[in-house]
Amino acid sequence: MTDFATPDLSDAHPEAAALPYQFFRYGGVERFAGPAETIACHEDNSRVAEAVAESGAGRVLVVDGQGSLHRSLLGDNLARTAIANGWSGIIVIGAIRDVEIIDTLAIGVMALGVVPVKTNKQGLGDRGHSLDLNGVTVAPGDWVYADRNGVLIAEEPLHD
Protein backbone atom coordinates (compact mmCIF):
# COMPACT_ATOMS: atom_id res chain seq x y z
CA MET A 1 0.00 0.00 0.00
CA THR A 2 1.68 3.19 -1.17
CA ASP A 3 -1.33 5.37 -2.02
CA PHE A 4 -2.05 7.01 1.33
CA ALA A 5 -1.42 10.12 3.37
CA THR A 6 -0.92 9.72 7.11
CA PRO A 7 -3.11 12.77 7.94
CA ASP A 8 -6.02 11.17 6.07
CA LEU A 9 -5.40 7.82 7.75
CA SER A 10 -5.24 9.50 11.15
CA ASP A 11 -8.52 11.33 10.54
CA ALA A 12 -10.26 8.13 9.43
CA HIS A 13 -8.68 5.96 12.15
CA PRO A 14 -8.20 7.94 15.36
CA GLU A 15 -7.15 4.73 17.13
CA ALA A 16 -3.87 4.82 15.16
CA ALA A 17 -1.02 6.32 17.19
CA ALA A 18 1.52 8.76 15.80
CA LEU A 19 5.13 8.25 16.81
CA PRO A 20 5.99 11.44 18.75
CA TYR A 21 9.23 12.31 16.98
CA GLN A 22 10.27 14.83 14.36
CA PHE A 23 11.68 12.56 11.65
CA PHE A 24 13.82 13.35 8.66
CA ARG A 25 12.91 11.37 5.54
CA TYR A 26 15.59 9.67 3.45
CA GLY A 27 15.65 7.26 0.55
CA GLY A 28 13.99 7.30 -2.84
CA VAL A 29 10.60 6.05 -1.60
CA GLU A 30 8.42 8.87 -0.31
CA ARG A 31 5.87 6.75 1.60
CA PHE A 32 5.89 3.18 2.81
CA ALA A 33 3.81 0.81 4.90
CA GLY A 34 3.83 -2.73 6.19
CA PRO A 35 3.86 -4.93 9.27
CA ALA A 36 6.48 -4.02 11.85
CA GLU A 37 9.59 -5.97 12.78
CA THR A 38 11.18 -4.53 15.90
CA ILE A 39 14.71 -4.09 17.19
CA ALA A 40 15.92 -2.41 20.37
CA CYS A 41 19.60 -1.50 20.40
CA HIS A 42 21.93 1.22 21.57
CA GLU A 43 24.78 2.30 19.29
CA ASP A 44 25.21 -1.28 17.96
CA ASN A 45 23.58 -2.22 14.67
CA SER A 46 24.37 -5.96 14.81
CA ARG A 47 20.65 -6.86 15.00
CA VAL A 48 19.85 -4.44 12.17
CA ALA A 49 22.38 -6.21 9.95
CA GLU A 50 20.86 -9.58 10.87
CA ALA A 51 17.31 -8.41 10.14
CA VAL A 52 17.93 -6.82 6.74
CA ALA A 53 19.82 -9.94 5.62
CA GLU A 54 16.57 -11.90 6.04
CA SER A 55 13.46 -11.76 3.88
CA GLY A 56 11.57 -8.57 4.64
CA ALA A 57 8.39 -9.68 2.83
CA GLY A 58 7.18 -6.06 2.71
CA ARG A 59 7.71 -5.43 6.41
CA VAL A 60 8.95 -2.20 8.01
CA LEU A 61 11.94 -2.44 10.32
CA VAL A 62 11.44 -0.26 13.42
CA VAL A 63 14.74 0.30 15.24
CA ASP A 64 14.69 1.78 18.73
CA GLY A 65 18.14 3.29 18.99
CA GLN A 66 17.05 5.17 22.10
CA GLY A 67 17.44 8.47 20.29
CA SER A 68 21.23 8.30 20.22
CA LEU A 69 22.89 10.43 17.58
CA HIS A 70 26.42 9.26 18.48
CA ARG A 71 26.58 6.16 16.24
CA SER A 72 24.86 5.31 12.96
CA LEU A 73 22.49 2.35 12.99
CA LEU A 74 22.00 2.27 9.19
CA GLY A 75 24.22 3.04 6.23
CA ASP A 76 24.07 2.53 2.48
CA ASN A 77 25.28 -1.10 2.57
CA LEU A 78 22.56 -2.20 4.99
CA ALA A 79 19.97 -0.18 3.04
CA ARG A 80 20.97 -1.98 -0.18
CA THR A 81 20.70 -5.32 1.62
CA ALA A 82 17.22 -4.37 2.88
CA ILE A 83 16.11 -3.54 -0.67
CA ALA A 84 17.48 -6.81 -2.04
CA ASN A 85 15.56 -8.72 0.63
CA GLY A 86 12.21 -7.01 0.19
CA TRP A 87 11.92 -4.65 3.17
CA SER A 88 9.35 -1.89 2.64
CA GLY A 89 11.15 0.68 4.79
CA ILE A 90 13.19 1.37 7.91
CA ILE A 91 12.45 3.69 10.82
CA VAL A 92 15.36 4.54 13.11
CA ILE A 93 14.88 6.23 16.47
CA GLY A 94 18.48 7.36 16.24
CA ALA A 95 21.04 8.21 13.56
CA ILE A 96 21.91 6.93 10.08
CA ARG A 97 24.73 7.77 7.67
CA ASP A 98 25.57 7.71 3.94
CA VAL A 99 22.41 9.73 3.31
CA GLU A 100 23.53 11.07 -0.06
CA ILE A 101 23.65 7.45 -1.28
CA ILE A 102 20.54 6.27 0.61
CA ASP A 103 18.61 9.10 -1.05
CA THR A 104 19.25 7.45 -4.43
CA LEU A 105 18.00 4.02 -3.32
CA ALA A 106 14.51 2.54 -3.72
CA ILE A 107 13.65 2.34 -0.03
CA GLY A 108 11.94 4.58 2.49
CA VAL A 109 13.91 5.57 5.58
CA MET A 110 12.90 7.77 8.51
CA ALA A 111 15.45 8.74 11.17
CA LEU A 112 16.02 11.36 13.85
CA GLY A 113 19.30 12.51 12.31
CA VAL A 114 22.66 11.67 10.83
CA VAL A 115 26.19 11.03 12.06
CA PRO A 116 29.22 9.78 10.10
CA VAL A 117 30.41 7.40 12.85
CA LYS A 118 29.76 3.67 12.43
CA THR A 119 28.82 1.36 15.28
CA ASN A 120 31.02 -1.13 17.04
CA LYS A 121 29.32 -4.43 16.33
CA GLN A 122 29.20 -6.33 19.60
CA GLY A 123 26.14 -8.49 18.96
CA LEU A 124 24.01 -6.44 21.34
CA GLY A 125 20.29 -5.68 21.04
CA ASP A 126 16.95 -7.45 21.02
CA ARG A 127 14.63 -8.41 18.18
CA GLY A 128 10.97 -9.21 18.06
CA HIS A 129 9.84 -7.52 21.28
CA SER A 130 7.33 -4.72 21.81
CA LEU A 131 8.92 -1.28 21.91
CA ASP A 132 7.80 1.65 24.02
CA LEU A 133 8.63 4.64 21.85
CA ASN A 134 8.00 7.68 23.99
CA GLY A 135 4.63 6.33 25.13
CA VAL A 136 3.60 4.61 21.87
CA THR A 137 3.83 0.83 21.80
CA VAL A 138 5.03 -0.84 18.61
CA ALA A 139 4.69 -4.62 18.59
CA PRO A 140 5.90 -7.02 15.93
CA GLY A 141 3.13 -7.32 13.35
CA ASP A 142 1.60 -3.90 14.06
CA TRP A 143 1.05 -1.88 10.91
CA VAL A 144 3.37 1.04 10.19
CA TYR A 145 2.51 3.88 7.80
CA ALA A 146 5.16 6.51 7.05
CA ASP A 147 5.28 9.59 4.87
CA ARG A 148 6.57 13.17 5.11
CA ASN A 149 3.91 13.95 7.74
CA GLY A 150 5.16 11.32 10.19
CA VAL A 151 4.65 7.73 11.23
CA LEU A 152 1.41 6.04 12.31
CA ILE A 153 1.16 2.73 14.17
CA ALA A 154 -1.99 0.58 14.10
CA GLU A 155 -2.76 -2.89 15.37
CA GLU A 156 -4.56 -3.76 12.12
CA PRO A 157 -4.14 -2.65 8.50
CA LEU A 158 -5.82 0.69 7.79
CA HIS A 159 -7.90 1.27 4.69
CA ASP A 160 -9.18 4.64 3.50
> Could you tell me the residue ranges of all domains in the chain?
22-154
Confidence (pLDDT) at 1 = 61
What integer is the mean pLDDT of 12-23? 97
Looking at CATH, the fold of the domain delimited by 22-154 is given as Glucose Oxidase; domain 1 (3.50.30)
Confidence (pLDDT) at 157 = 96
Q: How far apart, in whole angstroms, are the C-alpha atoms of residue 35 and residue 94? A: 20
- Strands 60-64, 89-96: pairing is parallel
Residue pLDDT, tens place only, 81-99 = 999 999 999 999 999 999 9
What integer is the mean pLDDT of 44-64? 98
Confidence (pLDDT) at 120 = 86
Kindly list the distances between the CA atom of residue 56 and the CA atoms of 34, 41, 100, in Å, as whole numbers in the listed order. Answer: 10, 19, 23
Q: How confident is the model at residue 76 (pLDDT cuts 50, 70, 90)?
A: very high
DSSP for 99-124 reads HHHHTTSSSEEEEEEE-SPPP---S-
